[in-house]
Amino acid sequence: MDWTEVCIRISTKDVEEASAIANMVVSYGIYIEDYSDLEQGAREIAHIDLIDEELLARDRDTAIIHLYIDPADNPAEAVAFLRERLAAAGIQNRVDAEMVREEDWANNWKKYFKPLPVGERLLVCPSWESADNADGRAVLSIDPGMAFGTGGHDTTRLVLETLERYITPGCDFLDIGCGSGILSIAACLFGAGTALGVDIDSLAVRTAIENGALNGLTEPRYTIRQGDLAQDVAGQYPVIAANIVADAIIALSPAVPPLLAPDGVYIVSGIIDTRETDVVEALHACGFTVAHRHERGGWLCLVTRRTA
C-alpha cells in the first residue's frame, strides 16, 4: 500500500497550534522537524555540545510537520482540510504531498469514496458513482476536488445531520467557510430558498460553484463568494453554519450576531473536544447560548441561539 506523506511548513512560532490541527487529520501520530532550539535541546536532552554542521545549518525559523496518510483516508481531502484550517487560523503555511505525485493521490482515493447515507434524508454521492439505490433520500452529488467536504469527516456529517433538523422550507442559509459547498447544497436539497457560501480560498470557491452545478444549483438560489468569512456579507439568515476550526470560530463570531435573524440558529463545528470551553466562552461573549450539543469521534457541533 502506498501511503502519502504530507509536509506542512510553518513558522516555528505556530508549531503548537499547527500540530493540533494536523492531529485532527490523523490519529496515528505526526512527526515534527523543529530546529529552533537545537543547541539547548542537544545539551539538555542528548547531553552533547558538539553538533553536526549539517544540523547547525538547518532553518531555525521554519518547522515541518509530517503526516502519513492511508489512501483510504482520502489524502486529497486531508490536504484541503489542512490548507483551509491553517488559513482560517491565520497560520502562514505551505502544504505539500511528497513521495506520491499529486495527480495520483488526488484521484486514486476515489475508489474508496462510495455513496454515503447521512441523517434520515440525504445520500452523499461522488459524481463518478451512480445513486440507483437512494431509497427515497435526496441525492447530493459531490466532487470535492481539492476542497474540504465529502461528508465523510465527522465534523461535516454532524453539521449535515443538524441542518436536516433546522432548515425550513424557503429559509435563507449562510455557510461561512464553505469548502466544497456541501453544506450549502444540502441546505438547498432540504428546502432552503437561498444558500450563500463564503470562503477565503479561491480553489474552494471554484469547487463549490462546480459542485452546485452538479446538483442543478446556480445563482441566485445558490451563490458562492470569495471573501473573509463573515465580512462583506449583508442581510439576516435564519440558519448560519461555520464548519471551520475553533480559533476561526472564536475570531469571526463577533461579526455573526447582526447576520442572524431573530430566533435563528448559529451552528458551529470543526471543534475538537479539548477546545470546547474556549469556544463556548467566546460564543457567550458574543451573546450566544448553546441550545444543543452533538459529538462524534472527539468532534463537537454546537447549535447556538442569541440571548434575549
> pLDDT tens, 212-244?
999 999 999 999 999 876 667 889 999 999 998
Distance CA 26, CA 295 (A): 18
The string of pLDDT tens digits covering residues 138-165 is 889 887 665 555 666 788 889 999 999 9
Residue 189 has pLDDT above 90, yes or no: yes
| Mean pLDDT score across all residues of the chain | 81
Tell me: pLDDT of 44 over 60.
Answer: no
86-112: pLDDT as tens digits: 888 888 988 887 655 555 545 555 665
By DSSP bridging, strand 222-226 and strand 194-199 are parallel
**Confidence at residue 54, expressed as pLDDT on a 0 to 100 scale:** 46
Q: Which domains are present in the chain?
A: 4-109 (3.30.70), 148-306 (3.40.50.150)
Residues 70-83 have a mean pLDDT of 78
Residue 43 has pLDDT above 50, yes or no: no
Which of 151-155, 159-163, 176-180, 303-307 has the weakest average pLDDT?
151-155
Which three cell numbers, joined as nine digits, stand for 308?
434575549
pLDDT band at 197 (very low <50, low <70, confident <90, very high): very high
Amino acid of residue 62 = T
pLDDT of the residue at 217: 95
Please tell me the pTM assigned to this model: 0.69
pLDDT at residue 59 in the model = 53
What's the average model confidence in pLDDT over 15-36? 76
Question: Cell numbers of 306, please?
Answer: 442569541
